[in-house]
């Protein structure tokens, strides 16, 4: 279980980016975080694996606090938290399977990781996961040759091979066309159930958030204004969240 | 008040003013130096025809070819060797000094300082200074080229790392990978094409510069040119220049081909 308690962050004095963020998520739940640009969605997500150092609060993964962890402990937490990026953040020059195997680095000794010495079991698992995301034929292709949707699925496979408890998705479909967006969202939803993991995604597409996520958190000016099952998301709430009429997107 | 119309009018005046300013700086400085720009340009055709007549390699200068090419190949090898060693040093230092992979801001400042120190002392000055310690030898030339290249490459590599590797670095950091794993698995593979492209450029550059350094240090093809030139064997000097041009162009074509394949 992932619990976030009283999370605070400000980049400039007297201009809080996040104030008192509280939520907890059970395994097998797909959570979408929505809200206007600059509301603090990315800050929340990146605080969860401490890529951004927040200013106060608690982040508990199965009871252990990430915020007070030392360097080695933090490495241990990070390998249990997969991350998927808007720009995929793959090593474009390397092959698909090498990029997937990068997800294992957190489990390896420094030397074995530096030179990319992976075990037979790890390689087998990488292939199984590539099959799961529908890219087994692309295993030896360079990532630079793939389409955006395919790259994102490599990114998802890379996070899955970490055996994560949580997957954080930072605008996973913002650079994708509608069809690829649907594929990626469906994939995330299915994997959340199949591996019984927590999946938290920042989204701008309210329609997709409502269709695929189990639960929606609405953020505005760094504060939580909504935290309910996704069917509870109403037009009035969206209007207060975005300050304007965005309800057409729902229909 | 600033309206779009008078903003554009003012921008127009600023541009005109800039051109007038540059023009008057040129006129003023050539007046101070008593420099006759028009006369200089008018002399160009005559100068080139003189060059054409005197520096034209003749049938006689073919005799010099073996010794020219022997020295030229040696000079090219020297340039390549110094660039390769410089690249190895530069990549290590650049990793230490770049904003995304580097150490503390103190380390970054020191690295930037070292790089700009080596870069901003002219190659000729390096060669003259090193002459005192290492005398007239290939090693002096090697070292002068090395120091200069290290300065340039550190700067270039740091910028490449900052531009190209920060996103993948973040991704691997998020998986729990350690520092050295991130460097070897994400940063180096990601920047390799740009790195090689810069190294090739530096080799081309160093072959050209090695000629100049050779004149100063009395080694390599520069020395050969210097001897022919000073003994008024202009046809042989012309042959040397021609050989250098051929090699430099050939290297450029070759490295463009390599770039096409790797990028």
Q: Give the residue extent of every domain in chain A.
A: 1-80+168-251, 87-163
**In this structure, are B162 and B47 located in the same domain?**
no
Burial of A211 from C-beta contacts in 10 A (0-12 / 13-18 / 19+): middle
| CATH assignment of the domain containing B136 | 1.10.3720.10
Specify the pairing of strand A64-65 against strand A56-61: antiparallel
Is B173 near chain A, with CB under 8 Å?
A: yes
Residues B165 and B43 in one domain: no
Helices B65-97, B220-230: inter-axial angle, 10-degree rounding: 140
Domain count, chain B: 2
| DSSP at B183 | I
What is the separation, in whole angstroms, between the first and last Cα of chain B? Answer: 51
What does the pLDDT read at residue A94?
Answer: 93
* B228 in the same domain as B181: yes
Residues B82 and B187 both lie in one domain: yes
Of A24, A8, A6, A4, give the one whose Cα is nearest residue A66.
A4
Q: Note whether B122 and B248 are same-domain residues.
A: yes
Q: Are residues B21 and B71 in the same domain?
A: no
Window 167-226 of A: residues touching B by CB (8 A cutoff) are none
Burial of B122 (0-12, 13-18, 19+ CB in 10 A): exposed
Binned at pLDDT 50, 70 and 90, residue A243 comes out as: confident
Q: What pLDDT sits at residue B1?
A: 61
The pLDDT tens digits for A127-175 are 999 999 999 999 999 999 999 999 999 999 999 999 999 999 999 999 8
Name the residue with tokens 């299915």. A190
Q: Largest Cα–Cα distance of chain A, in whole Å?
A: 55
Q: Does residue B166 belong to the interface with chain A, where contact is any CB pair within 8 Å?
A: no
Question: How many Å lie between the alpha carbon of A173 and the closest alpha carbon of chain B?
Answer: 17
pLDDT of residue B220: 87
Whether residues A102 and B192 touch (CB distance < 8 A) is answered with no
Q: Are A17 and A40 in contact (CB under 8 A)?
A: yes
Of the pLDDT bands very low, low, confident and very high (cuts 50, 70, 90), residue B79 is very high
What integer best gives the mean pLDDT of chain A? 91
Class of domain A1-80+168-251: alpha beta
Q: How far apart are the first and last CA of chain A?
A: 34
Residue B154 has what pLDDT?
Answer: 95
Let me know the angle formed at the C-alpha of B108 by B103 and B187, rounded to the nearest 5 degrees: 60
d(CA B37, CA B31): 10
Task: Please indicate if any CB of chain B lies within 8 Å of the CB of A250.
Answer: no
Of B175, B178, B189, the CB nearest to A91: B189
A116: left (phi over 0), alpha (psi -120 to 50) or beta: left
Mean of the pLDDT values across residues A93-110?
A: 94
Is the per-residue pLDDT at A250 higher than 60?
no
Helices B220-230 and B234-262, interaxial angle, to 10°? 150
Interface contact flag, A158 B184, Cβ < 8 Å: no
**B157 and B47 share a domain?**
no
For residue A113, the chain B residues in CB contact (below 8 A) are 177-178, 180-181, 184-185
Structure confidence by residue, pLDDT tens digits, A46-78: 999 999 888 889 999 999 999 999 989 999 999
Q: Is A214 helix (H, G, I), strand (E, B) or coil?
A: coil
pLDDT at B3: 80
Would you state the pLDDT for residue A194? 95
For residue range B68-78, list pLDDT tens digits in order.
Answer: 899 999 999 99
Please give the pLDDT value at position B176.
Answer: 92
A90 contacts in chain B (CB < 8 Å): 168, 171
| Contact flag B181-A85 (C-beta cutoff 8 Å) | no
Cβ-Cβ contacts under 8 Å, A115 against chain B: 184
- Closest alpha carbon to A56 in A5, A1, A104: A5
Side by side, the strands of the sheet bearing A64-65 are A15-25, A2-12, A56-61, A64-65
pLDDT at B7 over 80: yes
Domain that holds residue B16: 4-53
Contact A157, A100 (CB under 8 A): yes
* Whole-number Å distance between alpha carbons of A81 and A125: 18
Cross-chain Cβ contact B185/A78 below 8 Å: no
Q: Do A221 and A43 touch, CB atoms closer than 8 A?
A: no
Which among B150, B149, B151, B127 is positioned nearest to B139, based on CA atoms? B127
**Residue A117 has what pLDDT?**
93
Task: Please check whether residue B53 touches A, CB under 8 A.
Answer: no
Same domain, B12 and B107: no
Instruction: Considering only the beta carbons, identify the residue of A76, A79, A83 that sits closest to B171.
Output: A83
pLDDT attached to residue B38: 83
For A59, phi then psi, to 5°, come to -125, 110
Nearest to A75 among B178, B186, B190 (CB): B178
Q: Which two tokens stand for residue A115?
A: 């030179």
% of chain A with per-residue pLDDT over 70: 97
Best of A89, A112, A170 to disrupt the B interface by mutation (most B CBs within 10 Å)? A89
Residue A117 near chain B (CB below 8 Å)? no
Contact criterion met (CB < 8 Å) for A81 and B178: no
User: Rounded mean pLDDT of A8-36?
Assistant: 91
- The beta-strand segments (E) located in B30-144 are none
Q: State the DSSP code for A55.
A: S
Contact at CB, B170 and A51, closer than 8 angstroms: yes
The neighbour count for residue B147, using CB atoms within 10 Å, is 21
Q: B246 and B193: one domain?
A: yes
- CA-to-CA distance for A144 and A98, rounded, in angstroms? 13
What is the structure's pLDDT at B191? 94
Average pLDDT score over residue span A29-42? 92
Please indicate whether, in this complex, the C-beta atoms of B176 and A75 are within 8 angstroms of each other.
yes
| Torsional sign, CA B10, B12, B15, B21 | negative
In which band, very low, low, confident or very high, does the pLDDT at A246 lie, cut at 50, 70 and 90?
A: low
Residues B48 and B115 grouped into a single domain:
no
pLDDT greater than 80 at residue A87 = yes
CA distance A188 to chain B (A): 18
CA distance A167 to A198: 6
Sign, CA torsion B26/B28/B33/B37:
positive
Tell me the chain B residues in contact with residue A85 when contact means C-beta distances shorter than 8 Å: 167, 170-171
Average pLDDT over residues B138-156: 93
Instruction: Reply yes or no on whether the pLDDT at B187 is more than 90.
Output: yes
Query: Within an 8 Å CB–CB cutoff, is residue A118 touching chain B?
Result: no
Report chain A residues whose CB lies below 8 A from the CB of B183: 114
User: Does the beta carbon of B193 lie under 8 angstroms from any beta carbon of chain A?
Assistant: yes
CB half-sphere exposure, A13, CA atoms < 13 A: 0
Range list of β-strands (E), A98-183: 166-169
Phi, psi of A33 (to 5 degrees): -105, 120
Main-chain dihedrals φ then ψ at residue B18, nearest 5 degrees: -60, -45
Q: Band of the pLDDT at B234, cuts 50, 70, 90?
A: confident
Taken in order A108, A109, A114, A119, is the CA torsion positive or negative? negative
- pLDDT greater than 80 at residue A247: no
């Amino acid at each position: 279980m992932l619990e976030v308690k009283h999370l605070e962050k400000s980049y400039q004095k007297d201009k809080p980016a996040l104030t008192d963020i509280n939520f907890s998520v059970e395994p097998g739940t797909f959570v979408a975080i929505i809200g206007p640009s600059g509301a603090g969605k990315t800050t929340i997500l990146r605080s969860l694996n401490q890529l951004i150092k927040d200013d106060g609060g608690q982040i508990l993964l199965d009871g252990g606090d990430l915020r007070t962890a030392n360097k080695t402990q933090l490495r241990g937490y990070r390998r249990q938290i997969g991350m998927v990026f808007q720009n995929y953040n793959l090593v474009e020059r390397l092959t698909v399977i090498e990029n997937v195997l990068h997800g294992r680095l957190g489990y390896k000794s420094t030397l074995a990781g530096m030179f990319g010495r992976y075990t037979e079991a790890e390689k087998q698992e990488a292939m199984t996961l590539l099959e799961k995301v529908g890219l087994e034929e692309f295993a030896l292709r360079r990532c630079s040759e793939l389409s955006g949707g395919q790259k994102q699925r490599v990114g998802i496979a890379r996070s899955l091979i970490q055996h994560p408890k949580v997957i954080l998705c930072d605008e996973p479909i913002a650079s994708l066309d509608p069809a690829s967006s649907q594929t990626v969202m469906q994939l995330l939803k299915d994997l959340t159930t199949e591996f019984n993991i927590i999946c938290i995604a920042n989204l701008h597409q309210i329609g997709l958030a409502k269709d695929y996520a189990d639960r929606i958190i609405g953020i505005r000016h760094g504060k939580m204004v909504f935290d309910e099952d996704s069917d509870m998301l109403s037009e009035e709430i969206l209007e207060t969240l975005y300050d304007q009429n965005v309800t057409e997107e729902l229909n | 008040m600033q309206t779009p119309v008078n903003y554009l009018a003012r921008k127009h005046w600023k541009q005109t003013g800039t051109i007038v300013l540059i023009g008057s700086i040129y006129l003023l400085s050539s007046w101070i130096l008593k420099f006759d720009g028009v006369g200089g340009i008018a002399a160009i055709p005559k100068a080139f025809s003189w060059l054409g007549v005197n520096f034209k390699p003749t049938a006689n200068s073919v005799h010099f070819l073996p010794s020219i090419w022997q020295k030229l190949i040696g000079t090219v090898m020297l340039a390549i060797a110094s660039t390769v060693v410089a690249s190895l040093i530069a990549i290590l230092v650049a990793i230490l000094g770049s904003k995304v992979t580097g150490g503390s801001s103190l380390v970054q400042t020191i690295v930037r300082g070292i790089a700009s120190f080596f870069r901003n002392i002219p190659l000729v000055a390096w060669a003259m200074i090193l002459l005192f310690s290492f005398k007239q030898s290939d090693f002096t030339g090697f070292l002068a080229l090395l120091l200069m290249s290290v300065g340039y490459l550190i700067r270039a590599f740091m910028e490449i790392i900052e531009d190209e590797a920060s996103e993948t670095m973040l991704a691997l950091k998020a998986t729990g990978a350690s520092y050295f794993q991130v460097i070897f698995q994400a940063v180096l593979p990601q920047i390799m094409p740009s790195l090689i492209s810069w190294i090739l450029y530096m080799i081309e550059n160093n072959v050209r510069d090695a000629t100049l350094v050779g004149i100063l240090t009395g080694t390599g093809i520069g020395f050969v040119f210097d001897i022919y030139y000073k003994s008024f064997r202009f046809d042989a000097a012309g042959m040397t220049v021609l050989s250098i041009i051929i090699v430099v162009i050939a290297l450029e074509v070759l490295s463009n081909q390599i770039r096409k394949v790797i990028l």
